[in-house]
Amino acid sequence: MKKIYHRSIINMMLRLPGSLMLLFVGCIFGYAQKNRPVVDVDKAFQLAAKQYQGMLAAHTDVTKFPQSTKPDGSPDNRAASWWCSGFFGGSLWYLFEYTRDNKWREAADTWTMAVEQQKFNKGTHDLGFMLYCPFGNGYRLTGNQKYIEPMLTGAASLSTRFNPQIGLIKSWEKHDNCNYPVIIDNMMNLEFLFWAARQSGDKKFYNLSVTHADNTIKNHFRSDFSSYHVVCYNPDGSIFRKKTAQGANDTSAWARGQAWGLYGYTMMYRETRDPKYLRQAEGIAAFMMNHPNLPKDKIFYWDFNAPNLPNEERDASAAAITSSALLELANFSKANKKKYIDFAEKILVSLSSPEYTAEAGTNNHFILKHSVGHKPAGSEVNTPIVYADYYYLEALLRYRGMKK
């Protein structure tokens, strides 16, 4: 079929007058140029594979999950109950998706199953990160039925944290003097509940996600589409306080928080097709992309309003999440499609450069350098962090899909 198609294009070209033929060839060339990938995804994945091969060799104990680097330079590992335990398995699935090499599938399965017992954990809102990143990708890529039950049990655990009186999932047990803190990050755990609604046929998961997202629009966002990190609620659903935990101050725009919001509302639109979520995602994107404190290489400072700009750390994780989110948002926005792809591409070019990508064999086997976990607490400041790698690989795969 393809050959016949190509031959008929060539025959048609030969019958065209010279100038028209030039125009025709020019158009095809122009189209090919426009669609040409600027980011070398193959090279990035080759390096990622080298790093994660080393990571697997250094992590033979599946109760110690790669997280980051300690201030003394040694690897910082965490337990399965830490909110980031699903990202390593998730990244291994992305390596399998890219290479189709069964060695990654086996490793991914091992590190996925290592998180399984968290399905009973009712003490965290992060079960989406912990279970859906590894199990969800594993199920998507293999169809293996054994991944279903842990996710459905986990989704039921997560939904116990939803208080119908307040209309939101509780994030942390307690924070300062807040008894019912909800953080913008929580938007990221709703994707898991949408999957559970589809899989189980139980609409409850869908409805509570929509209610949580609507109340977050109402209470977390400012008029410029930036968001507070934490909103503390009273038992009757009224607001006790709006503040930050990981940002520079209560009224600042913590970079990763903005990225979680962008990703979360893009996902909300994908799942519901309700235009208000698309408007929200586009508003957040505009806030981030047009911010006066945006660095040239598009890798955000850890907080848009950090006090000592430009002498502040960058957060590669916020950039990686944003890049992945914009590549999805581009599918939904005719007007801004090109803008979103160009911005995401610029982020990926920067992240793939030696400034942010570690040399093979360095960086405790993480792919990216220069993320910020929790600067006010002095934790993970300018270090690799496991979720920066995860969203970087996801963005590269989305980018590859788009450029194909």
Q: Which residues pair with 301 in a beta bridge?
A: 314
Residue among 76, 97, 109, 185 that touches ligand GLY (CB under 6 A):
185
How far apart are CB 361 and ligand GLY at their closest, in Å?
A: 27
**Closer CB to ligand GLY, residue 373 or residue 384?**
373
Q: Which residue, chain included where needed, has tokens 């926005």? A: 333
How far apart are CB 185 and ligand GLY at their closest, in Å?
A: 4
Q: Closest by alpha carbon to 287, among 317, 314, 325, 248?
A: 325
What is the C-alpha to C-alpha distance for residues 386 and 94, in angstroms, rounded to an integer? 13
Q: Which long-range contacts (CB under 8 A, 24 or more apart) does 63-72 make?
A: 63/114, 65/111, 65/114, 65/386, 66/364, 66/365, 66/366, 66/386, 67/385, 67/386, 68/366, 68/371, 68/373, 68/380, 68/383, 68/384, 68/385, 68/386, 69/363, 69/364, 69/366, 69/383, 69/384
315 binds ligand GLY (CB under 6 A): no
**Closer CB to ligand GLY, residue 185 or residue 271?**
185
Q: Which residue type sits at 201?
A: G
Closest residue to ligand GLY, Cβ-based? 185
Residue from 76, 109, 126, 389 carrying the catalytic annotation: 126
Site string for ligand GLY, 369-388 (x = CB under 6 A): ----x---------------
Structure tokens at 395: 């963005």
**Closer CB to ligand GLY, residue 109 or residue 261?**
261
How far apart are CB 35 and ligand GLY at their closest, in Å?
A: 34
The alpha carbon of 85 is separated from its chain's Cα centroid by a whole number of angstroms, namely 15
Q: Is the peptide bond before 275 cis (omega within 30 degrees of 0)?
A: no
Site string for ligand GLY, 237-276 (x = CB under 6 A): ---------x---------x--------------------
Active site residue 72: no
Active site residue 126: yes
Residue from 40, 61, 109, 185 carrying the catalytic annotation: 185
**Closer CB to ligand GLY, residue 94 or residue 263?**
263
Residues near ligand GLY (CB under 6 A) are 185, 246, 256, 373
Catalytic residues: 126, 185
